[in-house]
């Protein structure tokens, strides 16, 4: 059976870590081989900031280094030009010197000078003797004059506008006893230098660009490309950690960067794989929490409904089969839990779950729908064509005694059955009908099976209508209180009255309406929570009436008000009682609150605490319908109560049924042993009264004295009762006096 296998085994999505790791390696291998995987483009490199920073730095460095080198190159170049000019001038001067000229005369004639000016860039010269005395001068006059002191002697001088260069030739340079200063045209020095500079700058730029580009290509390929790929992959992993879109390098290198990139990619994949595994585990866990019951491991109601939906679609609609759905509720599970403890209750539920699984066919779906309710779905087959066979199996499987913690325990169940397609074509409808049938089984005394019938629906509809009417009745003041007197059994004196709710529901009948029985509407009010405002109204009305009667001068008597367990647990009953007493100025000891044993079931300690608080307000407390509930007698001592009220069913049958007689006797003596007053309700006959007198019961209430009366009639009854009583006691005083 798939559901039970699901519930017992590992959830389908859970993966073994080893398997997961294999899957990871397989995936890595697959991703490595993928031809469609995106690769990083070179164009990206030029978009990277670091690329630009490196490129500019390299470029600038190249420019600076080459610029410095160019400076020295230009200096050398200029030196070479100067040397060339000097060589030209020297050659021209030596060629023009006349060796025969005596010491006092210029060795160069004017004719030779003109010849020199025409053939060379020499534009003028001056001849000095060894003593630096000017012998002759031709052409442009040079500004350089040879100094006698060799230390101060300047060998070349450029004119400020740079157009001329004066060159000094010493006797050593010329091997002649003269100093000759020649003026050269130097305009071409700058022209040539500029041309050289232009050429060098162009070369420098070309070289810088070329080197930068080559370097960038190399850096891009080996360093930037992998780093940018890594960046892209990390970004992709951050965006989609479970399925990152990982890119690969065009050619993977085995250097440090290549290895780092590979490790990072592997880590990203590993992380993705771990995340996927964790998510899948979390999903499985959520699935289990959302769809399975933790205690029994069975599917829960939500999952059951999904399965039922599926079964209706595939088995009923497609295969024309019939489905049976059961709502199985353990009777009085709450009591079992309270008396035997939660551990026992849990074990019992587990055991019942296992039994159901064992008793039913494999394709049946069994779920734990709530604390003590199981729902079952099974497809009818040729082996069990009728649902009865399956229902019987469930009934006897659960009813058989169970052994838990060395205790044998008998569980009773109520089962509601509905069928598909007979009782509905939708999962929710069928479930609802099974629940309606279950409620019917519970209402009809539990420990039984009920099959859904459309009449049940009618009953549910009627309940809803009743609730709507009751709500309107509360709003429109259609509720009334009747008062049922209570008497001291020994003296026959009226000592109190129980306030009982009455609802007159108007209709079109001859009577104009009818009284709805509290037994009919109180459970509906309790289920819907409407009992809280209704109970508040009852308390207020009863206390106000009690106060009014006291003010009118009636002898003091107690008023008993019924409290529902719902008021006890879902409303601030202590606050309300205190408030109403304050508001109405009712004396607290004249108010009695009746609670049934059911208020102790939900939370015994909390009930005891609340009763203690109520008692501290000064009100009296009684346990109503005593003997019909399941309260543990051992707790009775802890209840701060004043009175036990024996349920009317025991009184009614006390004279004909030995058990009920015994129960009544026991309650009376139990009450007395605990110093409690005991009141009996349902006293209808003199025989009842005699029996109770005999057993020493303290107080009585019943139709023998009167039926419950509306406020005005009750007031008359009280006035009459005390008048009669006063008359009787006067008479007895007179009789006594006469006798004396
Ligand atoms: P209960 O508190 O046990 O009230 C006693 C019921 O027994 C009343 O029925 C009363 O009329 C009836 N009774 C008393 N003596 C006799 C008798 O000698 N013979 C017969 N045949 N019946 C007798 P009632 O008024 O129909 O109330 C039924 C139940 O409805 C009450 O049982 C109580 O549980 C609930 N109820 C009535 N009024 C209120 C209310 O104001 N608040 C709450 N929470 N429950 C109320
Ligand atoms: Mg009562
Ligand atoms: Mg009662």
Residues 282 and 320 in one domain: no
CA of 701 to the centre of ligand 2 (A): 10
Residues 383 and 487 in one domain: no
Mutate to test the pocket of ligand 1, among 598, 599, 681 (most ligand atoms within 8 A of CB): 681
Residues 595 and 635 in one domain: yes
Q: Which residues surround ligand 2, an ion (CB under 5 A)?
A: 562, 594, 624
Q: Which ligand is nearest to the CA of 622?
A: 2
Residues 426 and 488 in one domain: no
Q: Please tell me the predicted confidence (pLDDT) of residue 101.
A: 60
Give the residue with greater pLDDT, 99 vs 454: 454
Residues 706 and 616 in one domain: yes
Residues 339 and 378 in one domain: yes
pLDDT per position as a tens digit, 69-109:
999 999 999 889 889 989 988 988 888 887 766 555 778 88
701 lines ligand 1 (CB under 6 A): yes
Which residue owns the Cα nearest ligand 1 atom 27?
Answer: 518
pLDDT per position as a tens digit, 542-575:
999 999 999 999 999 999 999 998 998 888 999 9
Which residue owns the Cα nearest ligand 1 atom 16?
Answer: 682
Please report whether residue 366 resides in a domain. Answer: yes
Residues 700 and 579 in one domain: yes
- Ligand 1 atom nearest the C-alpha of 704 is 18
519 lines ligand 1 (CB under 6 A): yes
689 lines ligand 1 (CB under 6 A): no
Please report whether residue 415 resides in a domain. Answer: yes
Distance in angstroms (rounded) separating the CA atoms of residues 197 and 161: 20
Residues 403 and 448 in one domain: yes
688 lines ligand 1 (CB under 6 A): no
CA distance readout (Å), 511 to 315, 469, 472, 478, 518: 55, 18, 20, 16, 19
- Ligand 1 atom nearest the C-alpha of 563 is 44
Of the three residues 291, 321, 355, the one that is the final residue of a domain is 291
Confidence of residue 385 (pLDDT cuts 50, 70, 90): confident
- Ligand 1 atom nearest the C-alpha of 538 is 41
Q: Please tell me the predicted confidence (pLDDT) of residue 633.
A: 65
CA distance readout (Å), 58 to 125, 227, 303, 734: 52, 20, 70, 138
CATH number at residue 308: 3.30.70.270
- Count of domains for the chain: 3
Residues 283 and 314 in one domain: no
pLDDT per position as a tens digit, 388-446:
989 999 999 998 888 887 778 888 899 999 999 989 889 999 999 999 999 989 888 78
In 7-82, at which residue ranges do the beta strands (DSSP E only) sit?
Answer: none
pLDDT per position as a tens digit, 238-283:
998 888 988 887 777 788 888 888 889 899 999 999 999 998 888 8
Q: Which ligand is nearest to the CA of 523?
A: 1
682 lines ligand 1 (CB under 6 A): yes
684 lines ligand 1 (CB under 6 A): yes
Residues 512 and 443 in one domain: no
- Ligand 1 atom nearest the C-alpha of 703 is 18
Q: Please tell me the predicted confidence (pLDDT) of residue 35.
A: 38
pLDDT per position as a tens digit, 201-211:
999 999 999 99
CA of 628 to the centre of ligand 1 (A): 14
CA of 608 to the centre of ligand 1 (A): 24
Confidence of residue 634 (pLDDT cuts 50, 70, 90): low
Mutate to test the pocket of ligand 1, among 480, 522, 646, 705 (most ligand atoms within 8 A of CB): 522
Residues 504 and 565 in one domain: yes
Secondary structure (DSSP) of 523-581: HHHHHHTTHHHHHHHHHHHHHHHHHHHHHTTPPP-EEEEE--HHHHHHS-HHHHHHHHH
CA atoms 654, 660, 664, 666: torsion sign: positive
pLDDT per position as a tens digit, 306-317:
999 999 999 888
pLDDT at residue 27 is higher than 50: no
- Ligand 1 atom nearest the C-alpha of 681 is 15
Q: Please tell me the predicted confidence (pLDDT) of residue 5.
A: 37
Question: How many residues are there in the chain?
Answer: 740
CA of 135 to the centre of ligand 2 (A): 160
Structure tokens at 98: 């006349």
Residues 359 and 394 sit within 8 Å (Cβ to Cβ): yes
Distance in angstroms (rounded) separating the CA atoms of residues 479 and 387: 46
Q: Please tell me the predicted confidence (pLDDT) of residue 432.
A: 92
Confidence of residue 20 (pLDDT cuts 50, 70, 90): very low
Which residue owns the Cα nearest ligand 1 atom 8?
Answer: 500
Q: Give me the mean pLDDT over the 500-520 stretch.
A: 90
Range of the domain at 577: 478-727
Residues 496 and 599 in one domain: yes
């Amino acid at each position: 059976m798939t559901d039970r296998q699901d519930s017992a085994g590992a959830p389908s999505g859970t993966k073994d870590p080893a398997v997961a790791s294999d899957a990871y390696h397989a995936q890595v291998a697959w991703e490595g081989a993928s031809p469609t995987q995106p690769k990083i483009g070179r164009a990206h490199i030029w978009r990277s900031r670091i690329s630009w920073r490196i490129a500019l730095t390299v470029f600038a460095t190249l420019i600076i280094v080459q610029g410095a080198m160019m400076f020295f190159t230009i200096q050398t170049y200029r030196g070479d030009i100067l040397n060339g000019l000097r060589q030209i001038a020297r050659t021209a001067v030596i060629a023009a010197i006349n060796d025969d000229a005596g010491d006092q005369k210029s060795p160069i004639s004017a004719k030779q000078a003109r010849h020199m000016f025409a053939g060379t860039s020499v534009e003028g010269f001056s001849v000095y003797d060894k003593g630096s005395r000017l012998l002759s001068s031709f052409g442009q006059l040079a500004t350089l004059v040879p100094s006698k002191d060799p230390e101060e002697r300047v060998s070349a001088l450029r004119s400020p506008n740079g157009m001329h260069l004066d060159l000094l030739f010493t006797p050593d340079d010329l091997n002649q006893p003269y100093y000759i200063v020649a003026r050269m045209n130097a305009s071409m020095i700058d022209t040539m230098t500029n041309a050289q500079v232009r050429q060098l700058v162009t070369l420098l730029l070309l070289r810088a660009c070329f080197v930068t580009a080559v370097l960038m290509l190399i850096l891009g390929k080996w360093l930037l490309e992998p780093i940018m790929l890594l960046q892209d992959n990390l970004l992709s992993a951050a965006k989609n950690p479970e399925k990152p879109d990982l890119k690969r390098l065009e050619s993977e290198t085995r250097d440090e960067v290549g290895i780092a990139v590979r490790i990072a990619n592997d880590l990203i994949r590993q992380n993705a794989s771990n995340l996927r595994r964790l998510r899948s585990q979390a999903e499985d866990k959520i699935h289990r929490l959302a769809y399975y019951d933790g205690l029994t491991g069975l599917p829960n109601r939500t999952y059951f409904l999904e399965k039922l939906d599926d079964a209706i679609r595939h088995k009923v609609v497609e295969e024309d089969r019939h489905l049976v759905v059961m709502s199985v509720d353990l009777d009085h599970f709450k009591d079992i839990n309270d008396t035997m403890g939660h551990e026992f209750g849990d074990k019992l539920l587990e055991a019942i779950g296992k039994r159901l699984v064992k008793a039913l066919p494999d394709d049946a779906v069994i779920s734990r729908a709530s604390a003590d309710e199981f729902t079952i779905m099974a497809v009818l087959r040729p082996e069990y064509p009728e649902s009865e066979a399956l229902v019987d199996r469930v009934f006897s499987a659960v009813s058989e005694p169970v052994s838990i913690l060395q205790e044998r325990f008998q569980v009773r169940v109520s089962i509601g059955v509905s069928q598909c397609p007979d009782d509905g074509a939708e999962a929710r409808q069928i479930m609802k009908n099974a629940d309606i049938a279950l409620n019917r089984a519970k209402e009809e005394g539990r420990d039984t099976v009920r099959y859904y019938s459309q009449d049940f629906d009618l009953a549910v509809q009627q309940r809803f209508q009743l609730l709507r009417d009751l709500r309107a009745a509360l709003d429109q003041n259609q509720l009334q209180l009747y008062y049922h007197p209570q008497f001291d059994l020994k003296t026959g004196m009226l000592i109190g009255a129980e306030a009982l709710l009455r609802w007159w529901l108007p209709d079109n009948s001859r009577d104009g309406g009818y009284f709805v029985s509290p037994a009919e509407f109180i459970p509906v009010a309790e289920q819907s929570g409407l009992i809280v405002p209704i109970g508040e109204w009852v308390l207020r009305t009863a206390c106000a009436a009690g106060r009014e009667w006291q003010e009118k001068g009636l002898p003091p008597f107690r008023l008993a008000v019924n409290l529902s367990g719902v008021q006890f647990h879902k409303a601030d009953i202590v606050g309300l009682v205190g408030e109403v007493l304050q508001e109405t100025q009712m004396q607290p000891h004249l108010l009695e609150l009746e609670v049934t044993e059911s208020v102790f079931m939900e939370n015994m300690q909390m009930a005891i605490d609340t009763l203690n608080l109520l008692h501290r307000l000064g009100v009296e407390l009684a346990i109503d319908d005593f003997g019909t509930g399941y309260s543990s007698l051992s707790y009775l001592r802890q209840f701060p109560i004043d009175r036990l009220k024996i349920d009317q069913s025991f009184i009614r049958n006390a004279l004909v049924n030995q058990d009920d007689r015994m129960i009544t006797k026991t309650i009376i003596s139990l009450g007395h042993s605990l110093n409690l007053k005991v009141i009996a309700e349902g006293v209808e006959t003199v025989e009842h009264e005699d029996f109770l007198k005999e057993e020493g019961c303290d107080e009585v209430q019943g139709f023998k004295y009167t039926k419950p009366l509306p406020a005005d009639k009750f007031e008359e009854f009280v006035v009459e009762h005390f008048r009669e009583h006063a008359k009787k006691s006067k008479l007895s005083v007179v009789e006594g006096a006469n006798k004396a």
